Structure 1
């Protein structure tokens, strides 16, 4: 589900997200690294798209052309935790 990284409010999939678009609940910018599907801390510039311009503040609006609103990070974290638990259970029978 597409949702705000900060408050986890669902975002309408038909909403066009630009530089000035903010979350209707918490008013934080939606066009930011932490809301992007390519955001991946720990890799080059924390971006799976391999962008050349480093964006220091990942939580504020930016002009990145690669931006795509990603899935809710809370849900993703829960999915990863469940997958890890299943893998550990499989290998630790």
Structure 2
């Protein structure tokens, strides 16, 4: 258990930061899920707009430090490949 005032403050800060990060992570997952649903439906136009939103949200998560830069880029790249496969088919 935290004993010093500084440690107690750190615990409070961590709790606040955790809540914010949890909300951000949930938001990113929501946009990724919308993209996956558009892919499953086979709607190229809807998938394209969902991809743009998901890409934006992923890069925002990168800028906020929620996701590593390379991880965000890798995920966007894979989403783009899925979108391309749908539009070709």
TM-score scaled by length of structure 1 = 0.29
TM-score, normalising length: structure 2: 0.30
Query: Larger helix proportion, structure 1 or 2?
Result: 2
Which protein has the larger Cα radius of gyration, Structure 1 or Structure 2? Answer: 2
